[in-house]
């Protein structure tokens, strides 16, 4: 399953997995757009509605899932957008990029057989967890809010793996980031000058979305240790071939990871799916 699969990295990931024989479920907010995108993917592809910015949608999606799920790729995300809130009142970037995937993963854990891959960003390096105001109720800043959500992704991966190991499960939690990849993620800042700058960057500096999807595909298919983080091997991890990469001390803090998990469970009302996860 790939979230946010109707364009960019998610669509490339879907195409490549389907090309090698996987049955892929495209979990998308816009089903019509998803159906159009699915026609470009070879093999066995199915489109299902999922709005990560609405926890009722996440719950409905998970409740309708039947059977095994080998790999979940938490790919969907929003970046550096004007202040907005989810259906449940969370800041949109934190709510979509982290809380939506937190809830989805835990609700689907009883079905998972192999691994969860969560897509973060090199921007996590400049991120800080504002635990006293995770929803940016005061002094909202688009880029710091985005960086917090990407740091949250890595803390989630860390704590999920700790819990999986503690439960004796063979399911693995991994992370990936695409480097600087040309996608439409960079065109929703609400600031024409910023959007124009990033559009130029996509053409001049960024690697293709095909190359940007390689770390996710690597993390989804290779025999890697739990909590591994995959990104491009080039300068500043901006582009290159997929390889294991490092993360900041903030992204490796087990106490912060536990704290974020507890808060996320309280905010979403979703308790750990590990009580029913497979060994």
pLDDT score recorded for residue 272: 80
Average pLDDT over every residue of 138-167: 97
Model pTM score: 0.91
pLDDT score recorded for residue 189: 45
The CA distance from 101 to 153, in Å, is 9
CB contact at 8 A, 120 and 177: yes
CB contact at 8 A, 235 and 205: no
Q: DSSP alpha helices (H): ranges in 20-141?
A: 31-38, 55-63, 92-93, 101-108
Least confident among 21-30, 69-78, 191-200: 191-200
pLDDT score recorded for residue 148: 98
Residues 92-129: tens digit of each pLDDT:
999 999 999 999 999 999 999 999 999 999 999 999 99
What single DSSP character describes residue 213?
Answer: T
Task: Specify the residue for token string 């929003």.
Answer: 78
Residues 31-48: tens digit of each pLDDT:
999 999 999 999 999 999
Which residue(s) pair with 29 in the sheet? none
pLDDT score recorded for residue 188: 45
Residue 19 has pLDDT above 80, yes or no: yes
Residues 179-191: tens digit of each pLDDT:
998 665 544 445 5
Superfamily of domain 2-276 in CATH is NAD(P)-binding Rossmann-like Domain (3.40.50.720)
Dig out the tokens for 207 from the structure.
């690697």
pLDDT score recorded for residue 265: 98
CB contact at 8 A, 10 and 182: no
pLDDT score recorded for residue 274: 77
The CA distance from 151 to 277, in Å, is 25
Q: What totals of helices (H) and strands (E) does the chain contain, helices first?
A: 10, 8
Which residues 6+ apart lie within 8 Å of 97 measured at CB?
Answer: 76, 77, 78, 146, 149, 150, 152, 153
**Domain positions in the chain:** 2-276
pLDDT score recorded for residue 201: 42
Which residue(s) pair with 116 in the sheet? 72, 173
Catalytic residues: 146
The CA distance from 208 to 8, in Å, is 9
CB contact at 8 A, 153 and 124: yes
């Amino acid at each position: 399953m790939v979230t946010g699969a109707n364009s960019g990295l998610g669509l490339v990931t879907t195409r490549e997995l389907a090309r090698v024989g996987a049955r892929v479920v495209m979990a998308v907010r816009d089903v019509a757009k998803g159906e159009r995108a699915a026609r470009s993917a070879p093999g066995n592809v199915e489109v299902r509605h999922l709005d990560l910015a609405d926890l009722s949608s996440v719950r409905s999606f998970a409740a309708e899932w039947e059977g095994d799920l080998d790999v979940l790729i938490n790919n969907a995300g929003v970046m550096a957008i004007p202040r907005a809130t989810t259906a449940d009142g969370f800041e949109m970037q934190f709510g979509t990029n982290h809380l939506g995937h937190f809830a989805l993963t835990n609700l689907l854990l009883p079905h998972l057989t192999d691994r969860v891959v969560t897509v973060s960003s090199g921007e996590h390096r400049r991120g800080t967890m504002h635990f006293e105001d995770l929803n940016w109720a005061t002094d909202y800043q688009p880029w710091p809010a985005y960086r917090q959500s990407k740091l949250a992704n890595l803390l989630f991966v860390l704590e999920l793996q700790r819990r999986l190991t503690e439960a004796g499960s063979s399911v693995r939690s991994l992370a990936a980031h695409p480097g600087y990849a040309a996608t439409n993620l960079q065109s929703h800042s609400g600031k024409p000058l910023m959007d124009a700058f990033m559009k130029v960057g996509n053409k001049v500096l960024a690697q293709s979305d095909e190359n940007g999807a390689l770390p996710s595909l690597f993390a989804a298919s290779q025999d890697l240790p739990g909590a591994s983080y995959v990104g491009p091997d080039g300068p500043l991890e901006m582009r290159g071939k997929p390889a294991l990469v490092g993360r900041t001390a903030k992204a490796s803090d087990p106490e912060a990871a536990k704290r974020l998990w507890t808060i996320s469970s309280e905010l979403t009302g979703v308790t750990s799916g590990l009580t029913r996860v497979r060994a």
